[in-house]
Amino acid sequence: MTTETLNIREMCDAFDVTARTLRFYEAKELLFPIREGQKRLFTKRDRARLKLILRGKRFGFSLEEIRQLLDLYHMDDGQEAQLSKSYVLAEQHLADMEAQKAELEEAIGELKEQMAWGAKKLAELAGKKNAAA
Amino acid sequence: MTTETLNIREMCDAFDVTARTLRFYEAKELLFPIREGQKRLFTKRDRARLKLILRGKRFGFSLEEIRQLLDLYHMDDGQEAQLSKSYVLAEQHLADMEAQKAELEEAIGELKEQMAWGAKKLAELAGKKNAAA
DNA sequence: CGTTACGTTTACGTGAACGTCAACTTTGCT
DNA sequence: AGCAAAGTTGACGTTCACGTAAACGTAACG
C-alpha cells in the first residue's frame, strides 16, 4: 500500500506549501481533492497538478492562466471542444515560454559579463592592498 | 542632438509603462531621473536600468531584489565594499536564473509532449468526422 | 471523559505593485 | 491675460496570493 492519497499535512510537506495554499488552490479550482468525510485527500492527479502549478508560478504565470493550462494536462478523451481550446492556449504559452527562454539566456549572458567586470575590479583592489602591504 | 534625455511621456511610450509606474520606481529608488525644475528627465542610465527592471520582473524577481542587483550594473569604481556585496548577490541571482533555465527547458519539453498528445487526439476526432461524412 | 492533535470553514488582514482621482504648478500657445 | 496640456505630489483604492486568527468538528489516546 503505497499511500494512494495524501492528507493535507503530507501534501504540505511533500511540496513545501501551506495548508492555506492548498485550500486556496482548491477554492480557485486548481485542485480537486476528494473528501473522506470532511477531510481532504489529495490524489495522484492533484499531485501532478500541484507540481505544474508551482512550476507555472515560477515562470510568472498567474493562477488563472495556470488553471486554464492545466486542462490540457488532465484532459481525458471526449471533450473535443475543450481540447482544441486548450490546445490554442497551450500554443500561446509555449510561445511565451520559448521567448522567455531566449531572454533568459540573454540575461544570463549579460549578467556573466557584468560579473566578469566586477571580478576584475575586485582583483585590482586586492592587488592594490597587497602592493600597499 | 539625439535627445539625450526623455521626459516622462516619452519614457512611457518607449517602454510601455505608465507614468505612475515610473514615479513608483523612483520612489523605490530603482530610477533616478534628474529634475529640470519640477519635471523628471530620464537619462540613458535610467533607460538602461528600466530595461533591466522590466527584464527582472519577467523572471519573477521582486523590485527589491532587482534594486539590489542593479547596483552591480551601474557600479562606478571606488565602492569596494558595495562591489563585493553586489557580486555575491549576483552569484545567487545567476544561480537562480540558470536553475530557472533548466526548469524552463524541462517544462517546454513536457508541454510539447502534451501538445503532441493533444494534436493526435484532435486528428483522431477529425478523422471520425470525415469517416462519418 | 477530558484534552491533544489535526482538520475544517469563515472572515478579516497583509505586502507588492501599481491604478485612480483630486488638487496644484508650470509651460506653451493664442 | 487666458487657458489647455503636461506634469507634480499626496492619498486612497484595487488585485493577487496568500497569512492569520477565531470558532468549530472529530478522532484517538491515556
**Distance of B10 CA from D22 C1′ (whole Å):** 52
Confidence of residue A133 (pLDDT cuts 50, 70, 90): low
In chain B, what residues touch A103 (CB-CB under 8 Å)? 55, 58
DSSP A37: T
Among B86, B11, B7, which residue's Cα sits nearest to residue A118? B86
Q: Cα–Cα distance between B37 and B39 in angstroms, integer?
A: 6
Q: Which of strand D's nucleotides are less than 7 A from any protein C-beta? A: 6-9, 16-20, 25-27
Q: Cα–Cα distance between B36 and B22 in angstroms, integer?
A: 16
Q: B1-45, pLDDT tens digit by residue?
A: 455 899 999 999 999 999 999 999 999 999 999 988 889 999 999
Q: B61-110, pLDDT tens digit by residue?
A: 999 999 998 978 887 666 777 788 888 888 988 999 999 999 999 999 99
**Distance of B33 CA from D2 C1′ (whole Å):** 32
Highest mean pLDDT out of A72-86, A109-123, B77-91? A109-123
Q: Looking at chain B, which residue has its C-alpha nearest residue A84?
A: B122
Q: Are the beta carbons of A95 and A80 closer than 8 angstroms?
A: no
In chain B, what residues touch A122 (CB-CB under 8 Å)? 80, 83-84, 87
